[in-house]
Amino acid sequence: MPPRSVARLELPGSLLEPGEPKREVFVAAGADTRVVHCFLEDPELACAPDAWTAHATAVEGGYRVDVHASSFTRDLALLADRLAPDAETDEMLVTLLAGDPLVPGPHHGVRVGAEPRPGCHGAGGHRRGHTAGSA
């Protein structure tokens, strides 16, 4: 489709009426775009407590953070500047389905030009996390 255009599609009612709204999302995908619609607000979703894992590895010019979603993960945000003041991340607020790689590619890139702050879990750290709506 050309930029700034719209296409209307008739969808079957079974796609629009979830059996378990706390556990289901609607996904619409195109060539370069994907939209995930939740049927309920974030606090009402039945999200897994350990929906993702992240592991930071030192690489030339900074760090690479590998994130793997084992369950639905909504709006993952890598707060790179908590690791080092000049750190930047390639993407923010990324929504992942179980098993999804981050787009583009399987890694969430971080560029750090300074050493991490003392006490940060960035260099070689491994973290588990939960999504919004989980306890």
CB 65 within 8 A of CB 102: no
Residue 1 makes CB contacts below 8 A (sequence gap 6+) with 7, 30
Name the strand (E) or helix (H) holding 36. Answer: strand 34-38
Predicted confidence pLDDT, tens digits, the chain (135 residues): 788 888 888 999 888 899 999 999 999 888 878 889 999 999 999 988 888 888 777 777 777 777 888 899 888 888 878 877 777 777 788 888 988 766 434 444 555 545 555 555 544 444 455 444 433
Q: What is the pTM of this model?
A: 0.68
pLDDT tens digit sequence for 58-97 = 777 777 777 888 899 888 888 878 877 777 777 788 888 9
Residue 108 makes CB contacts below 8 A (sequence gap 6+) with 54, 65, 66, 67, 76, 78, 89, 90, 91, 94, 102
Q: First vs last Cα of the chain: how many Å apart?
A: 41
